[in-house]
Chain A
């Protein structure tokens, strides 16, 4: 099974084909609705993002609080479509991989084709299982957003399926 690990180049992305199962390793940034809104506001205001998007991976997740002795609480993907309004600006900044669940709109898919990005689907509703694949977690920005804060996670053997590849092949459109 192919490994997806940041930083990723455009060439790395081109090797991933719709429908294939992959394992994500290493650093992924966790962000959902409110963090995306903040990041896009920062870009529009000409400010720096809390992390350099080039070559990176964003996971659409708002985890449960970590129980004692655990790195993170339940942490499965949220519905990606709600990030469609924000995703193209991040893809233009070099974001290579998005992880979530459910379909994306044509604007996002076009942006992925233009700049070289893929969209991976993780198993929605498998938050306890996926939390076991997360080995480190720290808050990078927006702590006031609570479960919607921007996190830097480290994952191991995190299972996904390539749902939309950089050629625009879309598993949801089959």
Chain B
């Protein structure tokens, strides 16, 4: 058994949310740089230059990359040999977010209730998914997810006869309908299989994967590449203003499913998809 104090967790999460919101992940930055080289539309090149300069300014000035500093999704891998001391794990994560968003001058974007809609004032609560794993480590992946991209995600319950073509058509439909709203160039997270909530979780999890790392299953890696080419041929472009850069990557994750099911969820990440891993 290994003890980790709630205070230690809060501190680490607090520092991590500030870093996540001000420092664009290197893989995303590199993908944007590559897109800028390959882009042919002058307006899109100009906007990509501004996006890349924005990442530099954010780091230098410790300013949030985007004013939408998101509602935080925390993906927790908790070693079953870990004992959290001095408070609950979820409370510790929320306390870290509270401190980080205050100290980092980050926007508080969470309301207390979908109908009442009163700002909670500290960007909590987070959305926390906990998985028990072997070992005595605690690993928390934080994704401060903006609403511009989150609002454009969709889920559908296809039936098996729709097959892979049905899945492809749905991905394209979602990206087309999202158009310029999710702040392209986007990362397209796709979850296929499981059931309704599993597909949605897979799609979110797909956004945590590094850009440039394909699915380890060759046939899915091929499908990811095929979908990326198709999406970049749609002409939506940077910020929806046209051009050949609509997506930086398509990440597909799958799970076993029911004999009668073919659920598909698409969760979109913006060009400023921010994520950070806390390891304790």
Contact = CB atoms under 8 A, between A and B. Distances in A.
A63 B58 CA distance: 14
A63 B107 contact: yes
A144 to B, nearest CB: 9
A103 interface: yes
Nearest to A73: B105
Contacts of A62: 67-68, 107, 109
Contacts of A145: 119
B271 A125 contact: yes
A49 to B, nearest CB: 22
Interface stretch (A3-11, A86-94, A110-118, A128-136): A128-136
Contact of B63 (A61, A74, A78, A124): A74
Interface stretch (A39-47, A50-58, A64-72): A64-72
B64 A64 contact: yes
A64 B63 contact: yes
A96 to B, nearest CB: 21
Given A21-B43, A63-B107, A172 B272 contact: no
Given A123-B50, A125-B272, A146-B121, A103 B179 contact: yes
Interface residues of A, number: 42
B65 A125 contact: yes
Given A74-B66, A126-B51, A161-B241, A65 B151 contact: no
A124 B183 contact: yes
A159 interface: yes
Contact of B62 (A65, A67, A103, A126): A67
Nearest to B46: A21
Contacts of B271: 125
Contacts of B65: 74, 125, 127-128
B98 interface: no
A78 B66 CA distance: 10
Interface of A: 19, 21, 34, 61-67, 70, 73-76, 78-79, 81, 101-103, 121, 123-132, 145-148, 159, 161, 163, 171-172, 174
